Amino acid sequence: MKKENYKAPSIELIQISTIGKHSILNMDTSSVFEEVEDVEKLLIEYGSPLFLLSENKLREKYKLFKEAFTEEGIETIIGYSYKTNYLPALCSILKEEGAWAEVVADMEYKLARSLNVPGSEIIFNGCYKTEAELNKAVSEGALINIDSFDELELLDKVAGSLGKKARTGIRVNFIMGNISWTKFGFSHETGESKEILERISKKKNINFEAIHNHSGTFNVDPKMYSKSTRIIIELAEYAKKIGLNTKIIDIGGGFPSSNKLKPQYDIPGGSKYNENTLKQFSSAVMYYLKKAKHLFNNGKPILMLEPGRAIVDESMQLISKVVSKKKNANGGYSVVMDAGVNILPTAYWYNFEPKLANKMNGSANDLNEKNKTNGKNYNEFVKMYGPLCMQIDSINDAVSLPSVEVGDTIVFSNVGAYNITQSMQFIQTRPAVLLLGPNGKEVIRKKETWSDIFTLDIIPKRLGKSNGRY
């Protein structure tokens, strides 16, 4: 065995200014958006937890998505799916990039109009649209993807009473695996997808334009989009035979982001996301569409896409603090954070990989540990809980992190999709959202206060309040 030469021990002076409440011993700045200079200062100013939106990242993701689905001879339209994240500032940035609005309810429709999205650039989806909502959508020239035979009758009546033709698409569904989204639209297997075309061909007040399919969310297999495209092409062929001209092929959203699904929701072995992923999905569609151009819009197909998470997930981060630490009965330790599933509901589906962004309140022991491993952080597996009084408020069962202590700052990346919109006003108020853009930091949603939560409540006078308002 080769012997190592003897090295004399040496004592190295470690420079620490003060180890106090705000001393920073270890900072992994690479984990926070590059626009952030001092994450601790942000939390002091805007409170913890805190959502960050990077304008640069959002614009970049939008452009990459559009580019991946751009082909000569095909017009590509992106209808950003509002339900994924309807922060008005975020929707405004995407509108500036050229996105249309894909909405599924009056609330989203009104938001899009309030941001000056023209009615003609709204795609109105969903399985429940009221007569009043249809009335507005027809008047303003929105594209309405109908979901049922009942909706066709209502739409025809509404358009007739307005003396207008309704711009109409049909949503179709097909079976693909055991979690197929057969709740929405017309079943292809039962023949309803053809029957709706036949019925439309007899309606005076319907202007048929689109065939639409959205088959799920976080679809990891491009084959699903090949199948969707082939079915839409088959239906466009049938539509042509019965005298209907299909202008638009709308393949919905559902494209994955770089988040990691929990194994029970993923394919065996785990799906892989990289810079070619979107191109694979695009090729799955284009391969068939390019051969069937003649069936759409007199040879100039309009390809409509309704991405949500693929555009916005990576544009947001959630910054949060460790508030307590305890030993687990079966080994290791847990930490309680000030952010939980109330504002990070996607933690039910994803294995987030939170990173230590800032180490506070360090002890000499931390430094010793750090030194022992040659300046590198040593990792432990930590159970991470949120602040709710429910055992199921668990963010991750085994996060690999350096020794974390109360006061440390943790960053969750890729949180832009379905967290803001599905967050709960439960036990905790919701955090502020900060936009990092060309003007530096701008608050785009204020931190909620307790009175925001009770603003709509009324106490009957007889129960003691003089003005009846709470």
Ligand X SMILES: Cc1ncc(COP(=O)(O)O)c(C=O)c1O
Interface with ligand X, residue 252, by CB under 6 A: yes
Q: Which residues pair with 187 in a beta bridge?
A: 173
Task: Rank residues 205 and 282 by Cβ distance to ligand X and give the closer one.
Answer: 282
Among 222, 307, 386, 437, binds ligand X (CB under 6 A): 307
Task: Rank residues 247 and 309 by Cβ distance to ligand X and give the closer one.
Answer: 309
Interface with ligand X, residue 308, by CB under 6 A: yes
Is 157 within 8 Å of 203 (Cβ atoms)?
no
Interface with ligand X, residue 417, by CB under 6 A: yes
Interface with ligand X, residue 314, by CB under 6 A: no
299: exposed, middle or buried (C-beta count within 10 Å: 0-12, 13-18, 19+)? Answer: exposed
- Give me the DSSP letters along 295-355: GBGGG--EEEE--SHHHHGGGEEEEEEEEEEEE-TTSSEEEEES--TTT-GGGGTB----E
Interface with ligand X, residue 185, by CB under 6 A: no
Task: Rank residues 146 and 337 by Cβ distance to ligand X and give the closer one.
Answer: 146
Q: Which residues pair with 186 in a beta bridge?
A: 172
Minimum CB separation of residue 372 from ligand X in Å reads 45
- Give me the DSSP letters along 64-124: HHHHHT-BTTBEEEEEEEGGG---HHHHHHHHHHT-EEEESSHHHHHHHHHTT--GGGEEE
- Give me the DSSP letters along 238-253: HHHHTT--B-EEE---
Interface with ligand X, residue 217, by CB under 6 A: yes
Residues 6+ apart with CB under 8 A from 455: none
Sign, Cα dihedral of 22, 26, 31, 34: positive
Which residues, numbered 85-114, are part of the site for ligand X (CB under 6 A)? 102
Q: Output the CA–CA distances (angstroms, integers) from residue 203 to 142, 153, 217, 295, in the order listed.
A: 18, 9, 33, 21
Minimum CB separation of residue 213 from ligand X in Å reads 9
Stretch that binds ligand X, among 109-117, 201-209, 251-259, 441-449 (CB under 6 A): 251-259
Minimum CB separation of residue 290 from ligand X in Å reads 23
Interface with ligand X, residue 151, by CB under 6 A: no
> Does the N-terminal peptide bond of residue 49 adopt cis geometry, omega within 30 degrees of 0?
yes
Which residues, numbered 8-47, are part of the site for ligand X (CB under 6 A)? none
Stretch that binds ligand X, among 34-42, 303-311, 353-361, 406-414 (CB under 6 A): 303-311
Minimum CB separation of residue 292 from ligand X in Å reads 22
Task: Rank residues 362 and 416 by Cβ distance to ligand X and give the closer one.
Answer: 416
The CA distance from 45 to 35, in Å, is 16
Stretch that binds ligand X, among 6-14, 70-78, 129-137, 307-315 (CB under 6 A): 307-315
Task: Rank residues 101 and 339 by Cβ distance to ligand X and give the closer one.
Answer: 101
- Binding to ligand X by CB under 6 A, coded x per residue (else -) over 52-81, reads -----------------------------x
Interface with ligand X, residue 215, by CB under 6 A: no
Interface with ligand X, residue 222, by CB under 6 A: no
Minimum CB separation of residue 448 from ligand X in Å reads 24
Residues 6+ apart with CB under 8 A from 311: 58, 61, 62, 65, 80, 84, 94
Interface with ligand X, residue 306, by CB under 6 A: yes
Task: Rank residues 218 and 288 by Cβ distance to ligand X and give the closer one.
Answer: 218
> How wide is the angle at C-alpha 468 spanned by C-alphas 462 and 469, nearest 5°?
145
Minimum CB separation of residue 219 from ligand X in Å reads 8
Sign, Cα dihedral of 34, 38, 39, 41: negative
Minimum CB separation of residue 85 from ligand X in Å reads 9
- Total of chain residues touching ligand X, rule CB under 6 A: 17
Virtual CA dihedral for 177, 182, 187, 189, nearest 10 degrees?
20
Interface with ligand X, residue 193, by CB under 6 A: no
Interface with ligand X, residue 309, by CB under 6 A: yes
Among 65, 255, 281, 412, binds ligand X (CB under 6 A): 255
- Give me the DSSP letters along 402-460: E---TT-EEEEES--SSSTTT---SSSPPPEEEEEETTEEEEEEPPP-HHHHTTT-B--
Minimum CB separation of residue 344 from ligand X in Å reads 16
Is 251 within 8 Å of 229 (Cβ atoms)?
yes
Is 188 within 8 Å of 174 (Cβ atoms)?
yes
* CA 360 to mean position of chain CA atoms: 31
Minimum CB separation of residue 49 from ligand X in Å reads 23
Task: Rank residues 310 and 347 by Cβ distance to ligand X and give the closer one.
Answer: 310
- Return the number of other C-beta atoms located less than 10 Å from residue 422's C-beta: 16
The residue number with the shortest CB distance to ligand X is: 308
Amino acid code (one letter) for 432: A
Residue owning tokens 């639209």: 185
Interface with ligand X, residue 84, by CB under 6 A: yes
Stretch that binds ligand X, among 33-41, 195-203, 291-299, 306-314 (CB under 6 A): 306-314
Interface with ligand X, residue 277, by CB under 6 A: no
Task: Rank residues 235 and 432 by Cβ distance to ligand X and give the closer one.
Answer: 235
Site of interaction with ligand X (CB under 6 A): 81, 84, 102, 125, 214, 217-218, 252-255, 306-310, 417
